Structure 1
Amino acid sequence: MKNTGMNFRHLYYFWVVAKEGGITRASERLGLAVQTISAQLALLEQSIGKSLFSQQGRRLVLNESGELALAYADQIFMLGEQMQEALGDADSDKTRLTVGISDSLPKLTAFRLLEATTTLARPVRLVCFENKFEQLLGDLALHKLDLVLTDRPVRSGTTLRVFSHQLLESGTMVVGSPALAARYKAHFPANLNGAPFLLPTRNNDLRGKIDEWFEQQGLRPDVVGEFEDNALLNTFGRRGLGLFFATAALASEVKAQFGAVLIGHVPQVREQVYAISNERKIKHPGVEAILASGQQDGSNPA
């Protein structure tokens, strides 16, 4: 069948039906009769020459073509929402920047990079979301996010059209409350054998490097806690419940915010920070500022 062109109103009805899980719920959301939406879906399927749903009992479920169409519709209507937000920001003299922050990334590091957006000539309205790395990449690919800040690059071979930019690299340091520092600072690192430690979980890239360093030093720490959320780990560290690793480049900030005292530097355990961006024809000034900030800081060998 010859393609007669797509009506985007029909596509929008399809998108709402798919998101709501049925025509009845979609009709309630849209304020339209069930028969009207059914007719619009039929016209859409006729225009593209493919059926998008299969009947399972009384339910409509997306078939393979419907799943593919939904993926594209997600991008189309998410971009439409972003356009409306951008036009609204134009009236408010602010630029909206939506950033995803990996839950494993130290929040002090994220703040240092995002701080670059506060000096732009046009004010930036930051909208920040925290989630797991994989979920953030999916949202970036769908243009729900302008940028992702994380501790790892996108692995080669991915089908996603996203790009990794290394912003920072730094050694780490072992820190702890004053009481723990007084006990374990002498004879670093040999004195760490059996010391209480708060560590990232094993799905964090930094954890593998930490475990390797412990093994090289012949150390067997007492792991009293493992955390996916870096902020929660630091909170436990601030209460003196264990030693923990921190970014050496942020030594002064770590001491000021968490009251953590330096016990020893670990240059072998290096921490990287990446910005993941998607391919855009229009450059976002906030994204450009963050990328430039990382390039200016360069790497810290400490």
Structure 2
Amino acid sequence: MSEMGNLNLRHLYYFWVIAREGSIVRAAESLELTPQTLSGQLATFESVLGNALFRRANRSLQLTDFGRTVFGYADDMFQTAQALTDVLQQPPENRPLSLSVGIAASIHKLIAYHLTAPALFLAREVRLSCRTGDTTELLKRLGQRELDIVLTDREPASGEASHFRSHRLASSSMSLFAAPDLARKLSSDFPASLDRQPFLATSLDAPYISALMNWFSSQNIRVKVIAEVDDSALIKVFGREGVGYFAAPTAIHDEVCRQYQVEHVASIHEVRDTLYAVTRARGSHNAAVAELLRERPELNDKIEKSEQ
């Protein structure tokens, strides 16, 4: 092992083993060293650090406060190194795939699940990491290779097009939902019944919100925004409690009604939520990314049936 400044990684490893074993004798047996050699290596390490790592109590070694701090870092390092060794010892075709997905916060969480879940059912193990946030920030992280793919409800701006490739995944009309009492009230004489009724709006710059507001205007509906929320799941919770009505893709009609105990008011076919997957322009050899980009007739069938 090499040195990092004054930190000798071999000495750090010896210390880690001693701390785990609880004694120099047991650690020496594990490392196939003599206790005298190991004790000397520990003394050298403590001298370099300028602090004691252990104190002796009742013929046993106990970590000092400083020693516990060093052990915490060492434990993270060597546990990670062991995990990496285990992965590298597997045949390449058996190694888990790593998939880092950026999900625009304006995408409804149930839709995000339907778009992401297929990667988890590959024959090969996939270690999935999901990050939510603003599309612009997610695309920046995609360009820096911190993410493998971004799921969003808008295509990259023209200035970003040369760096990324956009893939249209699905498009669904939008529907309105509300708690049962409010839903019955709104279903009567729709859409005039929406006038001045409490509406739960997303505070995010989601394209479907602009389209929905234009539709309200075309129907001479005066929108009473009772709350602006930047989390699609929280909006549904507010809706479930009867605070107001909200919009969600028709494609997840059944899940929304079942999970949040709300009722469907109406579908608005003129307003659509279109979803895209964005990858780097040079593409990816990641099989999990390819799975997310694969055309899904079953999803399109579900959307078509929900809109009939």
Fold-level match, TM-score > 0.5? yes
CA distance in 2, matches of 1:228, 1:97: 25
Deviation at 1:231, TM superposition (A): 2.2
CA distance in 2, matches of 1:267, 1:279: 33
Deviation at 1:244, TM superposition (A): 0.3
Give the structure 2 partner of residue 158 of structure 1.
Answer: 160
RMSD, aligned CA: 2.7
Deviations 1:170-197 (A, max 9, x none): 1011101112112211111111111110
CA distance in 2, matches of 1:89, 1:257: 42
Structure 2 matches for 1:177-216, cutoff 5 A? 177-201=179-203, 203-216=205-218
Q: Select which of 217, 220, 237 maps to 1:218.
A: 220
CA distance in 2, matches of 1:223, 1:159: 35
Give the structure 1 partner of residue 249 of structure 2.
Answer: 247
Deviation at 1:238, TM superposition (A): 2.2
Structure 2 matches for 1:8-27, cutoff 5 A? none
Aligned residue identity for 1:204: A
Confirm or deny that 1:32 pairs with 2:9: no
Give the structure 1 partner of residue 238 of structure 2.
Answer: 236
Give the structure 1 partner of residue 288 of structure 2.
Answer: 286
Ranges in structure 2 where 5+ consecutive residues have no aligned partner: 7-82
CA separation of 1:281 and 1:102: change in aligned 2, threshold 3 A:
closer
Structure 2 matches for 1:125-140, cutoff 5 A? 125-140=127-142
Deviations 1:190-249 (A, max 9, x none): 111111100122622121101100001110121101122222222222222110001101
Deviation at 1:281, TM superposition (A): 5.7
Give the structure 2 partner of residue 54 of structure 1.
Answer: none
Aligned residue identity for 2:224: D
Q: Which moved more, 1:114-123 or 1:133-142?
A: 114-123
CA separation of 1:142 and 1:296: change in aligned 2, threshold 3 A:
farther
Structure 2 matches for 1:66-215, cutoff 5 A? 88=87, 91=90, 93-158=95-160, 161-201=163-203, 203-215=205-217
CA separation of 1:240 and 1:143: change in aligned 2, threshold 3 A:
same
Aligned residue identity for 1:198: L
CA distance in 2, matches of 1:85, 1:147: 24
Aligned residue identity for 1:124: V
CA distance in 1, matches of 2:132, 2:260: 21
Give the structure 1 partner of residue 23 of structure 2.
Answer: none
Deviation at 1:143, TM superposition (A): 0.6
Larger Rg: 2
Percent of residue pairs bearing the same amino acid type: 31
Q: Which moved more, 1:113-122 or 1:144-153?
A: 113-122
Would the aligned equivalents of 1:113 and 1:294 in 2 still touch at CA under 8 Å?
A: no
CA distance in 1, matches of 2:127, 2:253: 28
Would the aligned equivalents of 2:106 and 2:205 in 1 still touch at CA under 8 Å?
A: no
Would the aligned equivalents of 2:179 and 2:239 in 1 still touch at CA under 8 Å?
A: yes
CA separation of 1:223 and 1:93: change in aligned 2, threshold 3 A:
same
What SS does structure 1 have at the residue aligned with 2:216? Answer: helix
TM-score computed with the length of structure 1 as normaliser: 0.68
Aligned residue identity for 2:272: R
